[in-house]
Amino acid sequence: MPTRPALLRRSPLALLAALLLAVSPAAPARADTALTTVAERSGFVETGRYAETIALCDAFARAHPDAVRCFDFGTSPEGRPMKAMAISRSGALTPEAAREAGVPVVLMQGGIHAGEIDGKDAGFLAMREVLDGTAAAGTLERLVWLFVPVFSVDGHERFGAWNRPNQRGPREMGWRTTAQNYNLNRDYAKADSPEMQAMLALVEAWDPLAVIDLHATNGAQFEHDISIQVEPLHAGDDALRAAGRQLRDGVIADLAAQGSMPLPFYPSFVRADDPSSGFEDGVSPPRFSTGYFLLRNRLSMLVETHSWKAYPVRVRITRNTIVSVLEQVAAHGQAWRDLVRAADARASTLGGQPVPLDYRTRDDARDVDFRGYAYTRARSEVSGALMTRYDETTPEIWRVPLRDVVEPSLIVDAPRAGYLVPPAQAALVAARLDAHAIAYRTVEAAMPGADVQVFRADSHALASTSVEGHQRLSVDGHWRGERRDVPAGALFVPIAQPKARLVMALLEPQAPDALAAWGLFNNHFERKEYMEAYVAEDVARRMLAEEPGLQAEFDRRLGEDPVFAADPRARLDFFYRRHSAWDERFALYPVYRVDAAP
């Protein structure tokens, strides 16, 4: 069991009490409470309903008409306005003005999981202080702060006291998913939900340099109070990774100087509920915010306060993070904008080059000191499982393994020219491309006998349960050259565009969040025609008699594969697949690659 160091002998409950006093004033300093939150006025016991967000959005715009613009960027499925705020003293309160002024835009979103609502209350608190000049002084002249207080607005209004049972405060909060039961932080790549489609349109309009996603994590009990993860850092454009590291390290340094204990990785145990298993860093697939924006050559940050810290503590730390991000972007944003423009240019030349599409963390680990609490592990009399109990009165240093060496696990050569989507799939694919503002064009003329590359699955598997309303598909196979007739009306998606990595993430069938992986083409991996067994028996005998070498091939398969040998249907399919009656489109991925633009 880890030992308790002398420097941690002060009770964490005493530290918590001191922090609560520091961040919970008895009453707001100003008499006018129009710009204060329910959270502040309640001593950070409560959080307001969505009507408060709408009112505060308008109130800040009225109080600071030169620096704040409040606007709707979408409507939720239950009919609520999705509010965003542009905050700047650069004169750039519209996307057009921001582009003309050449100032960096930083987008911060709260409430993508509406039960984790720290970002909303911290954002309004920080906004008032920044506008008053008492925090991040001078930053608003050098950037545009785009703030979405609540992303999942319908989820926010599914209010309840136990919506986050492993979280300390506020008293009531929203729900993890939307009214349509989508988890928005699984929806960036597939963009199913109206909320995500609205967010992606907002992103395309404003083109933020950095996107900051504000959460409160789940997990074990320990002293660390926040984790900061940034990409590109392990993945994405090589040169842009330096900016990602600079942003992450700058914010972590600021938080540490203010008394926090920040982590540069998500503190989830390698083995659930087992602290001794340690931690693992990694790169999220593009269903998540941090895995998505690196594909657009932009910075993203996942902010996770620790759910077991009291709400006033979490709000204060999130407020500190927001202020630090504003200061970092104000200081380095122009240089980072130059880097992302160069990254866009490089992405447009990826044709024919190897591109990583998925990542893994290597098994080799290094031991790190982690500030936890004393714990015991014993068999539960309730569940019967081995469970961990923590003693928050006894801080301890855990010496645990950290795996943080990340490497590509899937690398695919980009097509030399792009992708060709046959007209039968054009409407389906175009809707997804439009959601991400990916460039494509319609091919007006038919292309008989076109020289294309096709992906035929050697094997494929459908998930046994649905995820986000989709039955996911995994495929194994490879691209190979063929000639195919392509009717008029196909889509050509060029690889020569800044979003080339995102194009590949959506259209390469083996990518973790490809359209194929989310089941959009499952119909093409279902057999629709069959040969009756008595017909197949006659066909097999005729083929064995007429085709030299087929008997030897069949015998070799029988001898090498006992599962095949014991399966009558598989044995007959051995011949059926070689017969002209076989459906040659079965397991053919219905998107092609081309080496020359049509």
**Angle (CA) 192 507 404, round 5°:** 85
- pLDDT of res. 542: 94
Are both 371 and 446 inside the same structural domain? no
CB 239 within 8 Å of CB 342: yes
Question: What per-residue confidence (pLDDT) applies to 1?
Answer: 37
Please give the structure tokens belonging to residue 554. Answer: 């069949």
Q: Would 316 be classed as within a structural domain?
A: no
Assess whether 392 and 537 both reside in one domain: no
Residues 393 and 523 in one domain: no
- What number of residues does the chain have? 598
Same-domain pairing of 445 and 515: yes
Cα separation, 319 vs 308, in Å, equals 17
The reported pLDDT for the residue numbered 32 is 55
Q: What is the pLDDT of residue 503?
A: 99
| Cis amide linkage into residue 232, ω under 30° from 0 | yes
Do 505 and 468 share a structural domain? yes
Token digits of residue 431: 């809707």
Assess if residue 344 is contained within a domain.
no
Low pLDDT (below 70) residues in the chain: 1-32
Q: Is residue 555 part of a domain?
A: yes
| C-alpha angle 312-314-317 in degrees, rounded to nearest 5 | 110
Q: Report the pLDDT value the prediction gives residue 595, as an integer from 0 to 100.
A: 98
Structure tokens at 73: 């960027």
Residue 90 lies in a domain: no
Task: Round to the nearest angstrom and report the end-to-end CA distance of the chain.
Answer: 66
- pLDDT confidence of residue 125: 98
Number of domains in the chain: 3
* Residues 473 and 590 occupy one common structural domain: yes
Domain assignment present for residue 144? The answer is no
Final residue in a domain of this structure, among 376, 408, 440: 408
Q: What is the pLDDT, as a whole number, of residue 33? A: 76
| Cβ-contact 467, 314 below 8 angstroms | no
Same domain, 400 and 482: no
Residue 21 has a pLDDT of 39
Q: How far is the C-alpha of 233 from the C-alpha of 550, rounded, in Å?
A: 53
Q: Kindly report the backbone phi and psi dihedral angles of residue 141, in degrees, each rounded to the nearest multiple of 5, phi listed first.
A: -75, -15
303 Cα distance to chain centroid: 13
In a domain, 518, yes or no: yes
- Distance in angstroms (rounded) separating the CA atoms of residues 548 and 139: 79
How many whole angstroms separate alpha carbon 103 and alpha carbon 442?
35
- Please enumerate in sequence order all residues whose Cβ is within 8 A of that of 118, keeping only pairs 6 or more positions apart, or say none: 110, 214, 215, 216, 305, 311, 314, 315, 318
Tokens found for residue 509: 């069938």
**Phi, psi torsion values for 596, nearest 5 degrees:** -135, 140
Asked if 494 and 553 sit in the same domain, the reply is: no
Predicted pLDDT at 34: 87
C-beta neighbour count of 82 within 10 angstroms: 22
pLDDT of residue 582: 83
The per-residue pLDDT for range 197-241, each reduced to its tens digit, is: 999 999 999 999 999 999 999 878 999 999 999 999 999 999 999
Cα diameter, the chain: 97
Please tell me the predicted confidence (pLDDT) of residue 24. Answer: 42
Asked if 298 and 340 count as a contact pair (C-beta separation under 8 A), the reply is yes
Q: Is residue 391 domain-shared with residue 417, that is, in the same domain?
A: no
The answer to whether position 459 is within a domain reads: yes
Are 517 and 417 contained in the same domain? Answer: yes
450 and 568 part of one domain: no
End residue of a domain, out of 408, 435, 470: 408
- CB contact at 8 A, 526 and 462: no
Expressed as residue numbers, the domain containing 560 is 533-576
Predicted model pTM: 0.92
Specify whether 590 is located in the same domain as 463.
Answer: yes
Q: At what angle do helices 194-206 and 423-435 cross, to 10 degrees?
A: 70
- Residue 460 in any domain: the answer is yes
Domain boundary among 382, 408, 434: 408
Helical spans, DSSP H, in 436-567? 500-507, 533-546, 550-560, 562-565
| C-alpha span between 379 and 354 (Å, rounded) | 49
